[in-house]
Every structure is written in structure tokens, then in C-alpha cells.
Chains A and B, each alone.
Chain A
Amino acid sequence: MSNDQLHHLIVMVNQISSNLHHTGTDDEAAEAVAGHLKKFWARSMKQMIIEYADQDGSELSPLSREAVAKLQKPVETV
């Protein structure tokens, strides 16, 4: 994984969070962000952001952090 790539993912998830943060309660907003990632992000992107949240996570906005925590690690198929 390159730093650039991870950096982009962090920017992306934070941008999603700032556009969805007013969705209902905090928990609902986190669900909305997690739902968005689940629906639109590729397996490898989800894995990377989950790993990053686990290991460091400092650059994630609070809402992003909560959302990533709700995200299930995608399984390897095929």
C-alpha cells in the first residue's frame, strides 16, 4: 500500500462524512457513512481503511472513525 493511496482513502471517507454528518443522530450518520462505503467501495479499499483505523486512525474525522468501526471486513470470495 502506498501512502498516497491511503491518503486518498482518508480524504474520501472524511469528505463523505462531512456531507452526511447531518443525517439524523450521530449513530444514524455513522450508519449512513458506513452504508455508503459498503455500497460503493471496493474490497481492497475497505480492507485498507479498516486496517488503518485499527492501527492508527488519527487522520479520520470522529464520524469517519465511527463509521469505519461499523464496517465489516469484506470476505474473500472466489
Chain B
Amino acid sequence: MLQYFDPGKPALNPDLDYGTPPAISEATVSLSIDGYDIEVPEGTSVLRAASILGIQIPKLCASDNLDAFGSCRLCAVEIEGRRGYPASCTTPVAEGMSVTTQNGKLAKLRRNIMELYISDHPLDCLTCPANGDCELQDMAGAVGLREVRYGFEGENHLAAETDDSNPYFSFDPSKCIVCSRCVRACEEVQGTFALTIEGRGFDSKVSAGQSEPFMDSECVSCGACVQSCPTSTLMEKSVIDAGQPEHSVVTTCAYCGVGCSFKAEMKGDQLVRMVPYKGGDANHGHSCVKGRFAFGYATHKDRIREPMIRGSISEPWRAVSWDEAISFAASRLKATQARYGRESIGGITSSRCTNEETYLVQKLIRAAFGNNNTDTCARVCHSPTGYGLKTTLGESAGTQTFDSVMEADTIMVIGANPTDAHPVFGSQVRRRLRQGAKLIVIDPRRIDLLKTPHGGEAIHLPLRPGTNVAMVNALAYVIVTEGLEDRAFIEARCDQSQYAAWREFIQQERNSPEAMEAVTGVPADLVRQAARAYATNGNGAIYYGLGVTEHSQGSTMVMGIANLAMATGNLGREGVGVNPLRGQNNVQGSCDMGSFPHELPGYQHVGDPDVRARFGKVWGVAIDEEPGLRIPNMFDAAIAGTFKGLYVQGEDIAQSDPNTQHVEAALTSLDCLVVQDIFLNETAKYAHVLLPGSTFLEKDGTFTNAERRINRVRKVMAPVAGLADWEVTMALSNALGYPMHYRHPSEIMDEIAQLTPTFTGVSYDKLERLGSIQWPCNDEHPEGSPTMHEVDFPIGRGRFAVTEYVATEERTTRKFPLVLTTGRILSQYNVGAQTRRTENERWHEEDLLEIHPSDAELRGIRDGDWLGISSRVGRTVLRAKVSERMLPGVVYTTFHHPGSGANVITTDSSDWATNCPEYKVTAVQVEKVSQPSQWQRHFEDFDERQQQLLETAIHGEKTDDVGVFK
């Protein structure tokens, strides 16, 4: 007998559709299907049980990512002792059941059903874009349909018009069989509820919103409906254009920290579509508009295709061979060091590149440059997470898997907007909220999670920007003074003297919600309710984002969050935990790989002689024992004239870092700026050497997502300029006289595993076998660690930290009476370099300033007005969007477009422990204006000039020496 137990596992073979979702019961049931015996978990459908046996019952309306619906009746079976022909998708297995899936009567029944479907379906299969990938076609074949007796003359839907409004997929209702899979996918998988079935019986049809075009509806273009449609009704335009793909490769999305797995479906070396991969442990076959559709940037005409050099930034670029570019860069860097000293140069690793590439860049800096001047853009987003979690829990990473949220009873979201910034996780949270979990949101903005259709109870604490620590202290005060602590956990797991100190501090009256009300602006009663819900309503899980870290007390807040979790025992099992939601795809990985100036890979401090000795031995060099400069320190030193050379891989510091004018001054002071990127980004406009980067489609490697999951990135096409990023770093290192000879990124991973205690068990072979691995992965946890801190903390006992609230220096004044806070939106990604070069631009063409109606009225501002926004460091101009989502006194913008200059106004105020910039709080004034700011005019001129300098170079000589560096 085949015994099959699949608790929570989505499927046995991710490439097959088992018809209905897995049942999670521990009890099993035995039955026989067509004479074969099988034992499956209770609650499994007959359809799924048959499928596991390899018996395919015809089906149309069922899919294993959707609840069974039972509308098409094609899956009818005969069950001994039961009357009629029950639908196998809606019939659960029962002990001793005996099922027949094929006989003459069933065949006739199915043929009749198919005949009805086909009589209202165009017969243009040969020219249909779904030809070769159509379930209706397959089923017609499976049931042996040979004739259609009903003519096509009767009433039908064949003339219905196609909706082409969405840039990525089309909706052709003439092909629709009204199986409602799309409607259910939008509800159950995505949680947007954008689609409905309108009308009844023959008149029923699928409609987006109130019979609107897709683009005007609530649809967020996630693609779930397209993927689940069994016909060509909902179809990717790229497939309509290119035809069916012929092979596919599983890889990982390069956009956000969810790290969705995709099948890159190819035709030769042309990427036809990206289909979310059911076997992906982070996304289980779901995705968002970015990963699913916004990949066109990879073949965009703006890609840098040749290495280029120039003597100064006012000269035109000269396209040269790889050899010439690399030697030019190496000799300039060496000359700079010779003249200004060993510490006068440094480098920036990328949170978009692979772990292996990041590892190589920091190795190059520490070994070939001979200093620790390495940093990464994670500095400007999640460095406080590293500091705060390491100090309290002993490891710089989130504690859970994403799936853990399905066991959470109270979900607390702080300073994060998952439905926009981490959409697939946002969908999962919504699923849990629909099952009844409580939601607590701590954010100045009314984020969309609060509007979850069919969600449960929700509490919103709309605090003033910059008062997070006051809020977290007030929550802890309630937990301690109302006796809601988990004393057993604290006693067993936490350091008692630190706990005592914290407890004494937190109970002080000044931390009470009543006392803090004046600071946070949130009614004390609401805070008390939230604290009680988190502490007492079952499993409490905290998710937080940049609204926590990008503050002058970012690190303190992270520690405050860890305190809450420890005090309530919400750590060390499923359904609880402390979880940073990482911005870019590989923020976690770039931190793990030793990008920070004080830490070698695996968060091992450079001051530790044992650590240095281990690395020194493998690398064959002595490692500097003093930490290096962080990004803001590099800028200061550049302006002071002591820091002169920088190698930047895949980051756009000129656009993403605060106080743009200060950054521009720093970049202009450099003697040698080497930029490696896929486009001429803002930073590259100040560069002397421009090395073509490669996209995630053009190389092998790994990314690590926000749940510490190491996912494989697989090459599906050749790098446009011949070399992958890791090969370029290697070439530069060799030219600098420090040899590197890796033949494949897997060899780099082997070195990482050798030197990083949390990675010892990681290898490409194991990744191939397991699909993905969550670190720590070592002898203790050979298959990785989904949940952290189950038994103890890496530092032994958990450490409570005293978290005094210190108000930010960045205060509103008469001159700057409003608070500006920044964020991001669904369709664009970070500085937008990729997404702006795709159709995603249609959802967000420009950065707008959101302002509350009362602040707008006071200033006579209406939607669409041009607004001058000034802070103490700069001024820019954006258009207005009057919005109730904001608190009065708070204005909001995104920073996806360079010309908006959002960072011209953000200041150098930063987190006390890590210098993570305080993007979330800038005091500003807003007024109506008629023309762009001075900075914007300067930006446009400079941009135009640099684009020209690039144009002239494009026609330079061809590079053909790739082989030398392979």
C-alpha cells in the first residue's frame, strides 16, 4: 500500500497539479482507487489521493493552490455504495472507500460535459496562444471528445471583446469557461478580491471590479489569475508575442527580500515569462508584479555593454577592452594608495548581487586593498537590525520562516507595509487575517493591511514619526505592570541581572502609555489594548521594516522589539518571533557575507585575533584589526581629502543615500571611482571607470532572503558584456596583485562554508538536493534551521536592553513645521533603476508628495499642484497628492525617481549605533511653487551632459577579450 503523509507540504512534485491543497491532519485514512490501495491524511480529496497514486482524473475547475469548488463536474467518479457520480475534488476520502475513476458511464458523462463547454468556445486552437499549454484542450483529448452536436449558431460569447489594458497580460472573455479559478486565485492566493463572477447561469462572466478594465480596477497585477487560468482567456502578452517557451530554469527573484522562486521559461536565450514556482519554499507558487512581469530591464537598450574609462568626469567615456579597463582601474587605485595611504580607498558591496559576489568584494577590499573600508547599502536600511538583534538575541537575523505567520494569533506590524514592499508575504498575512488572527499596526500611515477584505479585528496605533521607542516602552510598561509577562520563559531563557535592570527601568511611570501619549500622540487606552492583545492572545509575532530602522533610535527600537518578545515568551517556536522585513533581495546575504567594516563574514568581529587568524590563513594575508569606514564616514573623509578611491558594485549611493548634495560633493572629490552596474546610474555619472554589470539572469549564485533562506540563482542567458560580476571582481583583484582563481561560484560558497560557522553545512550540492537552506546550517543543524533560538540563544541567555527614549534632533520648528517621511510602493523597486525601465512605470510615473487635507487647505494646495519642499539641507519640487492616509502634520513621498530629489532634503541625522540614516523623519516646509528647484535644474543639466558623454562612447571599439578573464 502506498502510504502518503504530507503535513503542510504543498506537493510531492512541484511541477504537477494535485488538484486540491494538501490536508494537514495527522490522522490517516485508507482507501482504494481503481484497485490500488493508498493511505492519506484525513481530509484529503479523492482527486488528490488519485493524483498521488499517479491516476489523473480529468478536471477543469480544480487546482491544488485553490480550495475545491466543484463546478465543472468533469472530475466525477463512482464510489462503491454511493449513489450518482460525486465530484472527486469536493469529496473527502473515507476509510475503506472504493473508487472507480474510469468506466463507460463516466466517460460518457465527461464527454457530454466537454461538449457543452466546447460549444461555446472558439475552435481556433491552432492559432491560440495557449496552444500546447491549455487544460481545456488537454481535457478534450483526455475524455476523447470527437464531435460537438450543438452548433455555434446559438447564443454564445464568441464575440466578446478583449481587455488589453494591463501592460503584461490580456483578458479575452470569448475563451472563458467560467471555472472561476481566476476569481478564487485573486481571493485565496493574492487576497485582493479584484475579480467577481457577474450574472448567473449562461450569462455569468468574469469581471474585474465593477466591469472595469483591469488597469482601472483594484487589480495589482500579481498574475495569480493568469497562472491559474486553464485556457488562454488570461494570458501573458509575452507568450502571445513569442509563443510557448521550450525549456525552463528555476531561479530566484532579484527584487525584494521575500526571495520568490520562479521558473524562468525560455525560448533559446530569450526569456518568455517568469512563472512563480510551486516548489519555492518562500512563495509556494505565488509572486508579485515585479518578479512576475518586470524583467524587461534585463534586455533594455540602456544596458551598459562595454567597459569604459575616462580621465575625469567632464571627459567623454571611452569604450575599451576589459583588459584595458581593469588595468586602468587597478593602476589608479594603486596610485591613490601610494599617494594618500593604505586607508584612502574602499568599496561598497551590493545587496542586489549574489552572496558569492558580495563575499568577493569584501575579500578584495580586506585582502587586496589591505583595509576594512567596506560597507553596503544595507547600512542605509537594516544595519540597526544587525546591531539590535545581535545585542539582545545574539544573531543578526529574523527568527522565523514566512510560513510561521500561519500559526500566529496576533500579528504586530511595525513601520512596514508588506502588501506594497513584500507583496507575497503580505498576501500570506492577509490569508492568516482572514482566518481570524488579530492585527496590530504601529505606523503613522494607514497601511493597506488594515483594509484586508474579510480580515479580523485590527488595532492601529498611528504614532508620530520618530516616537517608536516611546511606543515600544509604553507597550512593555503595560505588559510588566499588568502582570502579562511570561515569567517561566524569562527565568529559563534570559539573563536575570539584565532583566532586573530592564524591569526596573520599564516600570517607571514616565514609560506609561498615559505619560507617553503626549509624545506619541496615540491614546493610552489603545496602547493598552494592543499590549494586552500581543501578550495574551495566543502566539504573538512581530514583523517590522524600515519604519523601525531608519530613525535616530533605530537600533534602540530593534532592541525594544526584542525585549517585548522575550518578556512575553514569544520566541523559539512556530507562530511567534521577531522578523525584519528586508528591503532588497539580498540585504540579509550582504550583511551575512561580511560587508560591514567591523565584521568578517558570519558577523565575526575584525578585532578578534582568532577570527583574523582563521581568515588570514585561508586568504594568505594579514587582516587589519581596526574596523574600517562606514559609507557616511567615507563621504566625510572624501570631502576632507583623505579618502580618494572607491569601488562600487551594483549600488546607487548617489541616489539612495541621504543629503544628496553632500554625497555629490564627496563623489566629486574622488580621484578614482570605479562603478560596476547594469545601467549608467546616478553614481556612475561621477565615475572614472564603468564596468558592465550582469543581471540575476546572467549568472550563477545564491541570494539569502529575509527568513535566512539561501536560494539558488541560476544563469539562463550569457552576461551582456561577457563577464558575470564575480568574474569582474576577480579580474580586478588579480590586476591589483592579489590572486583569485575561482572557476564557478560554487567554489566561492565552499570557501564561505569553510570560514563561516553558520554556513559550514552549505554547499551547492545540498542546495540542489534540498531546494533551499535556512542558515544556521552546520553539524548541529545539517538541513538548516527554520526557527531560531528554539533551545537557547547563540549568546546563551537572552539579554534585555534598557531602551531609553531620546527624542530625535530632527524636530519641527516654525520654519520647518511638517515632518517628511519616506517609503516605497508596489510597482517600483528601490531607486527604480530596473522597474523604471519596464511597464511598471505605468502604475507610478512620478514620485508625489502626499499631504493631509487639513495641511493642504492651510496652504491652498490642491491635487497636482507643484510643491516646493525644503528642509535645513536642501530643497526640491514634487507634485501634490492630498491624502487621508497621512496624519495631519506629516507628509510622505517615495524615492523611486532620481529627478525628484527626495534625498536632497533628507538630512545626515542618523541612528546613534550604526549611522543608518533617519529617512523616516525630516522637518520640512511645503509651499506652492511654479518651477523646479535649483538642485533639480542642476540635476537635469548634469544628467543631460553625462548621457551625452556616454552616447559618444557607445560607438567606440568592441571588446573581445573576455576569454582572458575566464
Binding site for B on A (CB under 8 A): 1-2, 4-5, 8, 12, 15-16, 18-19, 21-24, 36, 38-46, 74, 77-78
- CB pair A45–B912 under 8 Å, yes or no, is no
Per-residue interface assignment for chain B, residues 588 to 617, with 1 indicating a CB less than 8 Å from any chain A CB and 0 otherwise: 000000000110000001010000000000
Min C-beta distance of B367 to chain A, whole Å: 12
| With known contacts A4-B639, A19-B804, A42–B556 Cβ distance under 8 A | no
In whole angstroms, what is the CA distance A44 to B626 when docked?
A: 10
Tell me if B908 is interfacial: C-beta within 8 Å of chain A. Answer: yes
Across-interface contacts of A74 in B (CB, < 8 A)? 626
In whole angstroms, what is the CA distance A8 to B640 when docked?
A: 12
21 A–B contacts from the bound complex (CB under 8 Å): A2-B640, A5-B636, A5-B639, A8-B908, A15-B912, A19-B556, A19-B806, A21-B804, A22-B505, A22-B804, A36-B913, A42-B372, A42-B633, A43-B627, A44-B629, A46-B626, A74-B626, A77-B624, A77-B625, A78-B342, A78-B622
Knowing that A2-B641, A44-B637 are A-B contacts, what are 5 other residue pairs whose CB atoms are under 8 Å apart, sorted by A's residue number? A1-B640, A2-B636, A12-B912, A39-B607, A42-B633
Min C-beta distance of B850 to chain A, whole Å: 30
| With known contacts A5-B640, A42-B627, A77-B625, A23–B605 Cβ distance under 8 A | no
- CB pair A4–B640 under 8 Å, yes or no, is yes
In whole angstroms, what is the CA distance A42 to B343 when docked?
A: 10
Binding site for A on B (CB under 8 A): 342-343, 370, 372-373, 501, 505, 552-553, 556, 597-598, 605, 607, 622, 624-630, 632-633, 636-637, 639-642, 802, 804, 806, 908, 912-915
Min C-beta distance of B952 to chain A, whole Å: 36
- CB pair B633–A16 under 8 Å, yes or no, is no
In whole angstroms, what is the CA distance A40 to B627 when docked?
A: 6
In whole angstroms, what is the CA distance A18 to B911 when docked?
A: 12
In whole angstroms, what is the CA distance A45 to B627 when docked?
A: 10
- CB pair B802–A77 under 8 Å, yes or no, is no
Across-interface contacts of A12 in B (CB, < 8 A)? 912, 915
Across-interface contacts of A8 in B (CB, < 8 A)? 632, 636, 908
Q: Please report the number of residue pairs spanning A and B whose Cβ atoms sit closer than 8 angstroms.
A: 76
Min C-beta distance of A2 to chain B, whole Å: 4
- CB pair B553–A43 under 8 Å, yes or no, is no
Min C-beta distance of A68 to chain B, whole Å: 16
In whole angstroms, what is the CA distance A2 to B662 when docked?
A: 14
- CB pair A23–B802 under 8 Å, yes or no, is yes
In whole angstroms, what is the CA distance A38 to B553 when docked?
A: 20
Min C-beta distance of A19 to chain B, whole Å: 5
Could you say which of B505, B639, B802, B806 contacts A18, with CB atoms under 8 Å apart? B806
Across-interface contacts of A44 in B (CB, < 8 A)? 343, 629, 637, 642
Min C-beta distance of A51 to chain B, whole Å: 14
| With known contacts A22-B505, A43-B626, A38–B607 Cβ distance under 8 A | yes
Across-interface contacts of A40 in B (CB, < 8 A)? 598, 627, 913-914
Min C-beta distance of A9 to chain B, whole Å: 8
Could you say which of B373, B553, B640 contacts A19, with CB atoms under 8 Å apart? B553
In whole angstroms, what is the CA distance A21 to B622 when docked?
A: 36
Across-interface contacts of A18 in B (CB, < 8 A)? 806, 912
In whole angstroms, what is the CA distance A5 to B632 when docked?
A: 10
Across-interface contacts of B373 in A (CB, < 8 A)? 42
Could you say which of A5, A42, A46 contacts B628, with CB atoms under 8 Å apart? A42
In whole angstroms, what is the CA distance A57 to B642 when docked?
A: 23
In whole angstroms, what is the CA distance A46 to B628 when docked?
A: 11
Min C-beta distance of A15 to chain B, whole Å: 4
Across-interface contacts of B640 in A (CB, < 8 A)? 1-2, 4-5
Across-interface contacts of B628 in A (CB, < 8 A)? 42
Nearest 3 CB-CB pairs, A to B? A2-B640, A43-B626, A15-B912
Across-interface contacts of B627 in A (CB, < 8 A)? 39-43
Min C-beta distance of B668 to chain A, whole Å: 15
Across-interface contacts of B597 in A (CB, < 8 A)? 42
